[in-house]
Amino acid sequence: MSEIADKVKKIVVEHLGVEESKVTPEASFIDDLGADSLDTVELVMAFEEAFNVEIPEDAAEKIATVKDAIDYIEKQKAA
Amino acid sequence: MFNLEGKVALITGATGGIGGAIATTLHEHGAHVVLTGTRELVLQTHTEMLGDRRASYVVANLSSPEEADTLIARAEEAAGAPVDILINNAGLTRDNLAIRMKDEEWDQVINLDLSSPFRLCRAALKGMLRKRKGRIVNIASIVGATGNPGQANYSAAKAGLIGMSKSLAQEVGSRGVTVNVIAPGFIDTPMTSVLTDAQKEKLLAKIPLGTLGEPKDIAAAALYLCSDEARWVTGAVLHVNGGMAML
């Protein structure tokens, strides 16, 4: 697992207070990890801060799963 | 009770009667206050009068969306810490009968009295959500609930502020952030000094407590809503109006 994936997972575990084993790539923040809509906004804010990237509104809306987040950040970092 | 030590409070419209009194009161109770307004000399004088390191000021014209958007960051820079308490008090009136009201008079009031508080709330909430704590107090007006001839614009903005505050209160309540409204009645300030004696006389007849309010009456209400003691109060409208409208 990449460094970015590790860090994303850690942020999700911390923010949502869920067990690490539940934070699989396919896990949906809202459907599987119990996040509400404000949690998803806060997660995006936390990602922005941790990775020093800017995630615009329309991109943030598409980030529904752990994998979505990892892919987006990896793409930004590669660019 | 009502100890605000260690908290940073941003007060907009701090050069006005009510804003100035709120700043003084929150400062008295330990907050670091950041005063903001358009008149630098007034801000500077007031800040110096408070006279210690727990007071700063930022000059900003909140009719400008850009200045409203960046004010929170500037205030945090001035105070050296995130804003814990936001008091949206800045406002203006452009009274006219609706039939004669120009678009410009409508727009100016909606922009400063409703849109700029929204911008400030949006910016301040980021830090508050992160901290899992915060207090927003929006200063509306009795006319936002009752209406008032000649103030279609002002009463619409103030009613809008009440609806906005209730929505925000529901959005962020789970994060320990409260959003409340104070709706002042007629307070003796420069804004109401334009009333003629005859108008004042008529007004007083409608106030069971028999006098105009003073800025300190609103400041006391603000202090309560900003305190830890008000932790279970959100989305509320506190009417401070001498009994003029019992809502």
3-state SS track over B38-88: CCHHHHHHHHHHHCCCCEEEEECCCCCHHHHHHHHHHHHHHHCCCCCEEEE
B130-171 pLDDT, tens digit each: 999 999 999 999 999 999 999 999 999 999 999 999 999 999
**Among this protein's residues, is A36 annotated catalytic?**
yes
The pLDDT of residue A11 is 96
Distance separating alpha carbons of residues B183 and B140, to the nearest angstrom: 5
Query: Is B192 a residue whose pLDDT tops 90?
Result: no
* List of chain B residues whose C-beta atoms are within 8 Å of the C-beta of residue A36: 174
pTM score > 0.95 for this model?
no
pLDDT digits (tens, 9 = 90+) for A51-65: 999 999 999 999 999
Chain A residue numbers with beta carbons less than 8 Å from the beta carbon of B129 are 38, 42, 45
B129/A42 touch (CB, cutoff 8 Å), yes or no? yes
Q: Which residue of chain B is at minimal alpha-carbon distance from A37?
A: B171
If one counts the domains in chain A, the total is 1
pLDDT at B196: 87
Q: What is the pLDDT of residues B105-116, one digit of tens each?
A: 999 999 999 999
Which candidate in B46, B135, B138, B154 is catalytic?
A: B154
Q: How many CA atoms lie within 13 A of B175 on its CB side?
A: 26
- Average pLDDT of span B86-94: 97
Determine the structural domain holding residue A68 and report its residue range: 1-76
Q: How far apart are CA B4 and CA B8, in angstroms?
A: 8
Share of chain B above pLDDT 90, in %: 92
| A26: CATH | 1.10.1200.10
- For residue B199, the model assigns a pLDDT of 86
Does pLDDT of B198 surpass 80?
yes
Asked if A38 lies within 8 A of B174 by C-beta distance, the reply is yes
| C-alpha span between B4 and B245 (Å, rounded) | 31
Q: Is B177 on the interface with A (CB under 8 A)?
A: no
pLDDT computed for residue A1 by the predictor:
61
Cβ-based neighbours of B177, under 8 Å, separated by 6 or more: B125, B128, B129, B132, B133, B134, B135, B136
CB–CB contact B172 A42 (8 Å): no
Mean residue pLDDT of chain B comes to: 96
Give the residue on A whose Cα is nearest the Cα of B175: A38
Query: In a mutagenesis test of the B interface, which of A38, A44, A45 is the best target, namely the one with the most B β-carbons within 10 Å?
Result: A38
* Segment B8-24, tens digit of pLDDT: 999 999 999 999 999 99
CB contact under 8 A, A45 and B172: no
Chain B residues whose CB is inside 8 A of the A42 CB are 129-130
The helix/strand/coil state of B10 is: strand
What integer best gives the mean pLDDT of chain A? 94
Q: What is the ipTM metric for this complex? A: 0.83
Cβ neighbours of B172 in A, within 8 Å? 38
Q: Is the pLDDT of residue B195 over 90?
A: no
A38 vs B130: CB contact, 8 Å cut-off? Answer: no
